[in-house]
């Protein structure tokens, strides 16, 4: 059976660390970084990238449009 794998790219400097993407992620891919970006926000990042299914939920709810999503079948 084909498995769907996804991957996200976070524009770290524009992320405001609101966590809305994190709670929208169905697989627990995203976590908030302990480090902060230039604006002082704990930005979102794919902490568990192997879990990503490329559903784009995170990107859809991101108020600042900082997430780009890719998806493929393997």
Spell 1-34 as b/e; 16+ CB within 10 A means b.
Answer: eeeebbbbebebebbbbeeebbebbeeebbebbe
Could you say whether residue 12 binds other proteins (CB under 8 A)? yes
Phi, psi of 50 (to 5 degrees): -70, -15
Could you say whether residue 37 binds other proteins (CB under 8 A)? yes
Per the structure block, which two tokens stand in for 55? 């559903």
| Of positions 9, 27, 28, 36, contacts other proteins by CB under 8 A | 9
Is 51 strand, coil or helix? helix
Could you say whether residue 31 binds other proteins (CB under 8 A)? no
- Report the nearest approach of other proteins to the CB of residue 41 (Å): 7
Give residues in contact with other proteins (CB under 8 A).
5-14, 16-20, 23-24, 29, 33, 37, 41, 43-46, 49-50, 52, 54-57, 59-72
């Amino acid at each position: 059976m084909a498995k769907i794998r996804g991957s996200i790219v976070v524009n770290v400097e524009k992320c405001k660390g609101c966590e809305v993407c994190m709670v929208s992620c169905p697989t627990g891919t995203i976590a908030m970084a302990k480090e902060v970006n230039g604006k002082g926000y704990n930005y979102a990042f794919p902490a568990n990238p192997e879990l990503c299914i490329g559903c784009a939920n995170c990107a859809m709810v991101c108020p600042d449009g900082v997430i780009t999503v890719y998806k493929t079948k393997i």
